[in-house]
Amino acid sequence: MIQLLLFAFFAGCIYVCYRLTYPKQWREISVFPGPPNIPLLGTAVPSSQLDVTKSVQKWNRTYGSPFLMKLGPSYLLVASKAEQIEPILKGTTNITKGGSYRFVEHWLGKGLLTSTNEQWHHQRKLLTPTFHYKILQDFLHIMNEQSAVLVERLRERVKSQTGKPQPFDVCPYITLCALDIICETSMGKRINAQSSPTSPYVQGILEFTEVATYRATHPWTWSDYIFENFSAMGRRFRQSLNTMHQFTKDVIKDREAAREANGATSKGDEPTMDSEIRKKRALMDFLLDMKQKGDFSSQEVREQVDTFMFEGHDTTATGIEWSCYAFGRHPDIQLRLQEEIDSILGPDRSDFPTADQLNEMKYLECCIKESQRMYPPVPYIERTIVEPVDI
């Protein structure tokens, strides 16, 4: 109760200040239609994230695009048409992320996902070469090994059923597999999330992701001080953050010690390394190379590694899960996919697919891209408008 009263007081103050400080902006956005608002609290949104998405879709059908909704003191202009979104996404000025990104900023700091302006351009320039095809190809053996663990866990889950097979949720299995892959590729550290899903670091990531998503659509949790000091969820949120940050710091410290012992330098000689040596390098090593050159500080290395962890497991797992959903709804397409894979890999499945074989799977690539178009892993792209734009 005290949280709601404090929130109502602060929200009222912010609302009055906003109306007095930004009368022009208020007049410009108030012309857009939208669902009714509850005083101070804004648009009534459901408690679950799934229901929030359904409500936004319903309002989009009712009021058209763009429509205006309000979350606490913040106004959101929701656009769904490509021609309305294009000026913002193609522009180079309105790249500041929306307010909900600040909840993941607790974990990621000012990494590539949450930074803006010159800081973002600087990071983007430095990090783009890190995702070169040749570098990512060297991680294929990790993806293959962890995918094999996933298949075995799903097989065990099916075998454990008695009587008529019953449907079960594959999402937790895929998420843990994605965590194993991104942690080993980004940090060079095996966390065995699939075999030890209750480890503190794995649980910290899952807890943080769930709470951050919840906070984005529930304004009474927006005050960090109130949320973390007066709610059990807030205390778990802070504990998860501490666990994740400490884990990353420890891995970086161990990695730097190992590099120093092995005589790692910042001369940038990665392209001349043989394949086996390159396979032992993680994305963190490229960041530590940049740190040695003075491009990144220790904190910035930690922020980028945490950004890899968040973006690499959450959106990847969601994309795979939606692809599985789409394939399951279309058995004819699933059969055609199986035929393509069989024709490329052949009857002998003793070896993992190579990068060249994966590149041959054109129909699979088309189906994955189409499932991402129909069911985007990130359904909302949020921007704070800092410069006038016509939509």
Instruction: List, for residues 216-272, the tens digit of each pLDDT value.
Output: 878 888 888 899 888 999 999 999 999 999 999 999 999 999 888 887 554 444 433
Name the band, by pLDDT with cuts 50, 70 and 90, for residue 282.
Answer: confident
Q: Is the pLDDT of residue 274 over 50?
A: no
Q: Which residues neighbour 330 within 8 Å (Cβ) at sequence distance 6 or greater? A: none
| Phi, psi of 341, deg, nearest 5 | -65, -40
- Determine how many CB atoms are found less than 10 A away from the CB of residue 47: 9
- Token digits for 21? 């400080």
Between 52 and 114, the more confident residue is 114
Q: Judge contact between 186 and 316, C-beta under 8 A.
A: no
pLDDT of residue 369: 96
pLDDT of residue 260: 85
Q: Given the structure tokens 């101070």, which residue do they identify?
A: 40
- In terms of residues, how long is the chain? 391
Strand 37-38, strand 74-78: pairing = unpaired
Least confident of 122-126, 277-281, 290-294, 387-391: 277-281
State CA 359 to chain mean position distance: 25
Q: Judge contact between 334 and 328, C-beta under 8 A.
A: yes
Residue 16 CA: distances (Å) to CA of 9, 23, 75, 320 = 11, 11, 14, 45
pLDDT of residue 60: 93
For 129-159+169-374, CATH number?
A: 1.10.630.10
Mean pLDDT of the chain: 85
CA atoms in the 13 A half-sphere facing the CB of 126: 22
pLDDT of residue 15: 63
pLDDT of residue 269: 46
**The model's pTM:** 0.81
pLDDT, average across residues 322-336: 96
State CA 323 to chain mean position distance: 17
Residue 386 CA: distances (Å) to CA of 64, 91, 94 = 24, 12, 6
Q: Is the pLDDT of residue 135 over 90?
A: no
Winning range, highest mean pLDDT, from 73-77, 98-102, 190-194, 279-283: 190-194
pLDDT of residue 244: 94
pLDDT of residue 24: 63
Sign of torsion over alpha carbons 221, 226, 227, 232: negative
Q: How far apart are CA 214 and CA 259, in angstroms?
A: 40
Residue extents of the structural domains in the chain: 2-80, 129-159+169-374
Name the band, by pLDDT with cuts 50, 70 and 90, for residue 18.
Answer: low
Q: Judge contact between 237 and 207, C-beta under 8 A.
A: yes
Give the model confidence (pLDDT) of 154-169 as tens digits.
Answer: 999 988 877 777 889 9
Q: Is the pLDDT of residue 170 over 80?
A: yes
Least confident of 25-34, 50-59, 265-274, 382-391: 265-274
Q: What one-letter code names the amino acid at 355? A: A
Q: Which residues neighbour 350 within 8 Å (Cβ) at sequence distance 6 or greater? A: none
Q: How far apart are CA 75 and CA 58, in angstroms?
A: 18
Q: What are residue 78's DSSP bridge partners?
A: 67
pLDDT of residue 21: 56
Winning range, highest mean pLDDT, from 72-81, 156-165, 355-364: 355-364
Q: Judge contact between 144 and 338, C-beta under 8 A.
A: no
pLDDT, average across residues 357-385: 92
Share of residues in the chain with pLDDT > 70 (%): 86
Q: How far apart are CA 36 and CA 44, in angstroms?
A: 8
Q: Given the structure tokens 């060249």, which residue do they identify?
A: 356
Strand 67-71, strand 74-78: pairing = antiparallel
Q: What's the Rg (C-alpha) of the chain?
A: 23
pLDDT of residue 280: 65
pLDDT, average across residues 312-329: 93
